Amino acid sequence: MADATVTTVESGPHQVSRRVRVNASAAHIFGLVANPHRHPELDGSGTVRETPVTGPDTLGPGARFSVGMKQFGVPYTITSTVTAFEDNKVVEWQHPMGHRWRRELNETSPTETEVTETFDYSTIKVPRIIEILGYDKKNGAGIESTLRALAARFA
């Protein structure tokens, strides 16, 4: 699965979703995606830095975590809050600007799981600004890279 197929998922207005099949159980994958300290390992956007990352080793309902980021050469830190959580199935967090990142796991067999990642900007006041600035497309490309890295990790 070195060249994992990432597909586009229709998830509604002002949402960008992609899906990939991963050769691992949902529990195994969830241990990675629900640990904010490991997010830099999978980041396909090139914006998540190795340090600083603070917060719990495993996210849960209402958990808060901070991640070092870098865009346009400028380092900064964001603190996000978990807004949806179901063990081995869903983890979603809200960025300080109001948009959300969601990862859903659907185990199709004991050794294969569909992973869907969604950038949901329907929750911000003026979602159209994301499209005007091109962040919907940029984040779509980042999600595709992230999901390919995830699939390759378990290939």
Domain residue spans of the chain: 7-153
Q: Which CATH class is domain 7-153?
A: alpha beta
**Which residues, other chains included, contact 146 with Cβ-Cβ below 8 Å and sequence gap of 6+?**
42, 43, 44, 45, 117
Mean pLDDT computed over every residue of the chain: 93
64-77 confidence digits (pLDDT tens): 999 989 988 899 99
Going edge to edge, which strands form the sheet with 112-120?
7-9, 15-22, 112-120, 100-109, 90-94, 74-86, 64-71, 48-54
Q: What is the pLDDT averaged over residues 79-85?
A: 97
22 touches 113 (CB < 8 A): yes
pLDDT of residue 28: 96
Confidence of residue 39 (pLDDT cuts 50, 70, 90): confident
Q: What is the pLDDT averaged over residues 21-43?
A: 93
Q: What is the pLDDT averaged over residues 21-34?
A: 96
Structure tokens at 27: 């529990």
Helix (H) or strand (E) holding 84: strand 74-86
